[in-house]
């Protein structure tokens, strides 16, 4: 569900015509709906109401400060994977005690930063990392709260690039090695074992992989208990899919219902790390048609937004629906919608039947609120785009479009070149 709907053939973001925003702020631009973000967060809150839990929004999906502030003000915690994300989460007012920190390559500096902030727990991905956290905590004379990220070897049946819980994946500690790593953690003087973590992948559209993975994790928790290793938090990761096209992913309520029988007697604080299912359908990417051209086998629409602004189609062949800002009844044409980047892989949509588009017309690339702006870059020396948040009948620029001078920020030409 989202708040980007047609009224009288014109696409609106909540109560504002998208065209109005694009004309004022320019294109390309990301537009987020405050209402959708909140509704999605509340869906999780309601689904897990009545049992101890924390919703830790995965910042990698969208780390715009206004988005984070929206979620923070409504009780969200954060799942972070870098010092930068930790900084942004804290700056948005997310309490450190609601922050979990995953990622396979945490540096000493990042570990120290998180320890000083007093985060809820590190989701540790290897024994080397465990040793590093123990060492850094020792030097700061604190105890580091840790969970082990276990890899349950479950196929989430999603795109291979976003599957993380398989044996061949770089993430987590293989579940059969978890016990020995927990024993090791128990022995390290500056660590406090407080939890267990798993995340098996992203854009998962069925419940079974969640259930299967959780069963394995609970078996492990029972083994740990038998060994006298008691934990407080079970972090079940993120990964719930969203409808991009004709998928029917489960609702957070369905997820809750499916895993409830497994969790109800376990007496642990449940942590969830949704990213896409909160932000994905809360955002659109608006871009303008610059040119059209017909090749013998293809008809192209060249727009002002490219793979540097929205990478998902190029990187994962991801499908994003494309809608005109104004509905019309022009004849249907099959287009490849491509960007201005000098790469054949630069496309936003392929073989898409649309009412024919004209130069200067604007289109919305839907479901781009997650992994849209956060994966954007300056490739081809293109300033990164603006971001806008809509609330009711008003809109706010929540990130200015970069300027050319931003392209040289921090760079230096050595004296010998002057
Ligand atoms: N927790 C951990 C440890 C993760 O690695 C991820 C995503 C999440 C939570 C959030 O997952 P979500 O609820 O958003 O599925 N760039 C890719 C997605 C990469 C996801 C990486 N990890 C894409 O655009 O599809």
Which uninterrupted H or E stretch holds 216? helix 208-226
* Residues linked to residue 355 through DSSP beta bridges, in sequence order: 332
Model pLDDT, residue 165: 65
Q: What is the DSSP letter of 138?
A: H
Model pLDDT, residue 228: 96
State the pairing for strand pair 173-174/362-365: unpaired
**Residue 90 near residue 117 (C-beta atoms within 8 A):** yes
* Residues linked to residue 392 through DSSP beta bridges, in sequence order: none
Q: How far apart are CA 88 and CA 206, in angstroms?
A: 32
Q: State whether the beta carbon of 304 lies less than 6 angstroms from ligand 1.
A: no
Q: State whether the beta carbon of 369 lies less than 6 angstroms from ligand 1.
A: no
Ligand 1 pocket test: which of 101, 159, 275 has the largest number of ligand atoms within 8 Å of its C-beta?
Answer: 275
CA 367 to ligand 1 center in whole angstroms: 15
* Residues linked to residue 358 through DSSP beta bridges, in sequence order: none
Q: How far apart are CA 2 and CA 192, in angstroms?
A: 41
Measuring CA to CA, how many Å separate 331 from each of 327, 353, 360?
12, 10, 18
Q: State whether the beta carbon of 165 lies less than 6 angstroms from ligand 1.
A: no
CA 63 to ligand 1 center in whole angstroms: 13
Tell me the average confidence (pLDDT) per consecutive run of 10 residues in the chain, 418 residues long: 94 98 98 98 97 97 98 98 98 98 97 98 97 98 98 82 73 94 97 97 96 96 96 98 96 97 93 98 98 95 98 97 96 97 97 97 98 98 98 98 98 97
Q: What's the pLDDT tens digit per position in 248-279?
A: 999 999 999 999 999 988 999 999 999 999 99
- What separation, in Å, do the N-terminal and C-terminal C-alpha atoms of the chain show? 56
Q: State whether the beta carbon of 367 lies less than 6 angstroms from ligand 1.
A: no
Q: State whether the beta carbon of 98 lies less than 6 angstroms from ligand 1.
A: no
* Mean of per-residue pLDDT scores for the chain: 96
The residue to which tokens 């919608």 are assigned: 337
| Ligand 1 atom nearest to CA at 315 | 24
User: Atom 16 in ligand 1: which residue has the minimum CA distance?
Assistant: 371
User: Atom 23 in ligand 1: which residue has the minimum CA distance?
Assistant: 371
Q: State whether the beta carbon of 371 lies less than 6 angstroms from ligand 1.
A: yes
CA 289 to ligand 1 center in whole angstroms: 31
Ligand 1 pocket test: which of 273, 280, 372, 377 has the largest number of ligand atoms within 8 Å of its C-beta?
Answer: 273
CA 57 to ligand 1 center in whole angstroms: 10
**Residue 238 near residue 200 (C-beta atoms within 8 A):** no
Ligand 1 pocket test: which of 59, 100, 239, 278 has the largest number of ligand atoms within 8 Å of its C-beta?
Answer: 239
User: Atom 24 in ligand 1: which residue has the minimum CA distance?
Assistant: 371
Q: Is 342 a catalytic residue?
A: yes
User: Atom 7 in ligand 1: which residue has the minimum CA distance?
Assistant: 202
Model pLDDT, residue 160: 72
Q: What's the pLDDT tens digit per position in 203-237?
A: 999 999 999 999 999 999 999 999 999 999 999 99
| Ligand 1 atom nearest to CA at 371 | 24
Query: If we measure between CA atoms, which residue out of 185, 204, 52, 51 comes closest to residue 123?
Result: 185
Domains parsed from the chain with CATH numbers: 4-31+280-408 (2.40.37.10), 34-276 (3.20.20.10)
CA 142 to ligand 1 center in whole angstroms: 30
* 208-226 helix and 175-187 helix, angle to the nearest 10 degrees: 40
Model pLDDT, residue 265: 87
Q: How far apart are CA 22 and CA 13, in angstroms?
A: 11
Q: Which two tokens stand for residue 15?
A: 């109560």
| Ligand 1 atom nearest to CA at 318 | 25
| Residue of 189, 342, 414, 417 with catalytic role | 342
CA 42 to ligand 1 center in whole angstroms: 20
Q: Which two tokens stand for residue 232?
A: 């407080």
Q: State whether the beta carbon of 237 lies less than 6 angstroms from ligand 1.
A: yes
Whole-structure pTM value: 0.97
3-state secondary structure of 188: coil
């Amino acid at each position: 569900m989202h708040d980007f709907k047609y009224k009288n053939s014109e696409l609106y973001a909540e109560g504002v015509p998208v065209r109005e925003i694009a004309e004022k702020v320019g294109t390309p631009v990301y537009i987020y709906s405050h209402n959708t973000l909140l509704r999605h967060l509340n869906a999780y809150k309601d689904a897990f109401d009545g049992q101890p839990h924390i919703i830790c929004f995965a910042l990698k999906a969208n780390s715009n400060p206004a988005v984070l502030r929206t979620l923070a003000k409504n009780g969200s915690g954060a799942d972070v994977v870098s010092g930068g994300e930790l900084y942004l989460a804290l700056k948005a007012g997310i309490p450190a005690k609601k922050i979990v920190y995953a990622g396979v390559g945490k540096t000493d500096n990042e570990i120290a930063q998180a320890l000083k902030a007093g985060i809820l727990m590190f989701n540790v991905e290897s024994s080397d990392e465990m040793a590093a956290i123990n060492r850094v905590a020792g030097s700061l004379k604190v105890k580091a709260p840790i969970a082990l990220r276990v890899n349950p070897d479950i196929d989430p049946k999603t795109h291979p690039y976003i599957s993380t819980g398989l044996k061949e994946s770089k993430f987590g500690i293989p579940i059969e090695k978890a016990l020995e790593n927990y024993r090791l953690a128990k022995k390290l003087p500056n660590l406090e074992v407080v939890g267990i973590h798993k995340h098996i992948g992203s854009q998962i559209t069925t419940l079974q992989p969640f259930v299967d993975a959780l069963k394995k994790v609970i078996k492990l928790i029972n083994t740990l208990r038998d060994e006298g290793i008691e934990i407080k938090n079970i972090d079940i990761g993120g990964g719930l899919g969203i409808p991009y096209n004709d998928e029917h992913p489960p609702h957070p309520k369905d997820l809750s219902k499916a895993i409830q029988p497994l969790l109800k007697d376990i007496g642990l604080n449940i942590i969830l790390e949704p990213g896409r299912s909160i932000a994905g359908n809360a955002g659109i990417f608006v871009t303008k048609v610059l040119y059209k051209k017909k090749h013998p086998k293809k008809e192209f629409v060249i727009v002002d937004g490219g793979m540097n602004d929205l990478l998902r189609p190029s990187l994962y062949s991801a499908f994003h629906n494309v809608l005109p800002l104004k509905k019309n009844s022009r004849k249907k044409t099959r287009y490849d919608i491509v960007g201005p980047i000098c790469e054949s892989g630069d496309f936003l949509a392929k073989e898409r039947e649309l009412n024919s588009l004209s130069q200067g017309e604007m289109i919305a690339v839907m479901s781009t609120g997650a992994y849209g702006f956060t994966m954007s870059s300056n490739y081809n020396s293109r300033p990164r785009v603006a971001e806008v948040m809509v609330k009711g009948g008003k809109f706010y620029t929540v990130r200015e479009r970069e300027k050319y001078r931003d392209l040289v920020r921090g760079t230096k030409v050595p004296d010998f070149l002057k």
